[in-house]
Chains A and B, each alone.
Chain A
Amino acid sequence: MIDENTGRRQGGTTTLHLVLAWGFVGVPLVWGVLKTLGNAMKLFQ
């Protein structure tokens, strides 16, 4: 969407933007946490 006064693109955030942004950081973080949790479980073996 283009702002009529400034000619700049409007910064409206869609749900897709949010999903992509959170997925971008969330997926590697969850992967790392699960790996660490797997190692931590050795404490109870």
Chain B
Amino acid sequence: MNTGSILSRERTYAMPGFSRWMVPPAALCIHLCIGQVYALSVFNLPMTRLIGISQPTPDDWKLTELGWIFSIAIFFLGASAAVMGRWVEDGGPRRAMFTSAMCFGSGFLIAALGVSLHQIWIVYLGYGVLGGIGLGLGYISPVSTLIKWFPDRPGMATGMAIMGFGGGAFIASPLSVWLMSLFSTPAHVGVAETFVVMGIAYFLFMLVGSAIVRIPQPGWKPAGFETPVRAGKLITNRHVYVYQALRTPQFWLIWLVLCLNVTAGIGVLGQASAMSQEMFPGRVTAVAAAGFVGLMSLFNMAGRFLWASLSDYIGRKNTYFCFFALGTVLYATVPHTGSIGSVAAFVMCFLVIISMYGGGFATVPAYLKDMFGTRYVGAIHGLLITAWSMAGIFGPVLVNYIREYQIDNGVPKAQAYNVTMYVMAALLVVGFICNLLIKAVHERHHMPIELAEPEAIAA
């Protein structure tokens, strides 16, 4: 890449007088857009009647075929974040954000072509592969930049961006429904046009983020902030090379911590509506269950910001101790709420659980920064995203299969989730132990200072 290119790292350095508070909105421009992936399901039913219009015909796509679009996108999110992390770090946030915008926007346009031609493989290729790569690059692109701008509050800074990923669905869901209603006619569902508009709109929105993002000059610190001369027990001043981090037990322990925390949350997130109705038959209607799911999404988003911000004060390890200890108690309490018939207690338990699920995502970049330094934190975070992909498979499978097994063995539906809750509590106990085992990274893994911070030394 030509260093003179407007996308290059060299052209992204902040000039004197630049406010670091411009960087979180830049990150949010990306995360609010890519968070759309959580609202992809609003297209499912309309896409099952692209030919039949009012109702599905045998030639229409099936829900099972459409479900693969999300799965492929999430797979490529994890894969691209893991593989391209080093490229993102080296090239700087602007190049990564721009590439993410190109991939995500064009993914929508190619998917629109697939919908128009009624060729599902083109949709897989467009939204799934290309869009998924855009998701992965976009997800990790602002992380290390935010941490460098906010060394005093890294949890809060990354929490803000990752909160945007949770909030993206809030915008995308009503927007998609509104656009489809605008473009639909008695002879047309309007999905392709909606994809085109969203592809262009998201590209432009993300472009703004790419344009306003800046990286701090080497050696920059916020006014009044002094890097501690002697680092804390679990906070290092040194840096670990991205692939060296894979050789440390700390990386794999944090990988397990994230995986277990996400597994416990993601399994119930997908089943919340059915679970609330089955545990309280006749008391929680389908409409109320939909409201419960909406409320959980809000707590998921808010938890990302609040827990990550709190971690700046109580420490990352203690924050995860809260997630695992409180989560274990709450999961173990859920069956009791069902047996006493307390909907309010059931809702409260899950709102706190889901806030900690979101908080786990948002706190982990700062945890990595504490353990491995800032130099390759974005790339290391990219590698850690594989824990999410793994949890995305395990969580729902665990919940669904245990429920089915219980029902097949004659357990009433209202009690079919009890074992699942205890299994989730047990997973969190394992997570607690993994978190307990995390110690500072041994100095033999640290990069030599002249390699880690050549610009700072030159400055």
Contact = CB atoms under 8 A, between A and B. Distances in A.
B298 A25 contact: no
A40 B77 CA distance: 29
Which bucket holds chain B's interface residue count? Answer: 35 or more
B291 A12 contact: no
A44 B284 CA distance: 10
B16 A10 contact: yes
B155 interface: no
Interface residues of A, number: 28
B18 A29 contact: no
Given A10-B15, A25-B164, A37-B298, A18 B21 contact: yes
Contact of B174 (A35, A41, A42): A35
A45 B241 CA distance: 54
Interface in A1-45: 3, 8-13, 17-18, 21-22, 24-25, 28-29, 31-33, 35-37, 39-45
Contact of A10 (B17, B171, B208, B297): B17
Interface in B1-49: 14-19, 21-22, 25-26, 28-29, 32
Closest 9 CB pairs of A and B: A11-B15, A32-B170, A12-B17, A43-B291, A13-B19, A40-B294, A42-B291, A32-B171, A21-B25
Contacts of B17: 10-13
Contacts of A39: 290-291, 294
A21 B212 contact: yes
Interface string B261-295: 00000000000000000000000000111111011
B153 interface: no
7 contacts: A3-B15, A13-B21, A25-B32, A25-B164, A29-B167, A32-B174, A37-B298
Most buried by B among A13, A25, A41: A25
Contact of A40 (B14, B21, B22, B291): B291
Contact of B167 (A8, A11, A32): A32
Contacts of B29: 24-25
B18 A11 contact: yes
A43 B347 contact: yes
Nearest to B299: A40
Nearest to A35: B174
Main secondary structure on chain A at its contact with chain B? helix
A43 B15 contact: no
A30 B409 CA distance: 46
Interface of A: 3, 8-13, 17-18, 21-22, 24-25, 28-29, 31-33, 35-37, 39-45
Contacts of B297: 36
Contacts of B208: 24
B398 to A, nearest CB: 26
B206 to A, nearest CB: 11
B205 to A, nearest CB: 8
Given A10-B16, A37-B294, A40-B291, A25 B170 contact: no
Contacts of B174: 32, 35
Contacts of A8: 15
Contacts of B173: 32, 35-36
A12 B172 CA distance: 33
Contact of B288 (A13, A36, A42): A42
B316 interface: no
B298 A40 contact: yes
A9 B15 contact: yes
B164 A29 contact: yes
Contacts of A24: 25, 29, 208
B288 A45 contact: yes
Given A11-B15, A29-B171, 6 more contacts: A21-B212, A28-B32, A29-B28, A29-B32, A35-B170, A39-B294
A31 B18 CA distance: 29
Contacts of B25: 21-22, 24-25
Contacts of B15: 3, 8-12
A17 B18 CA distance: 10
Contact of A13 (B18, B169, B289): B18
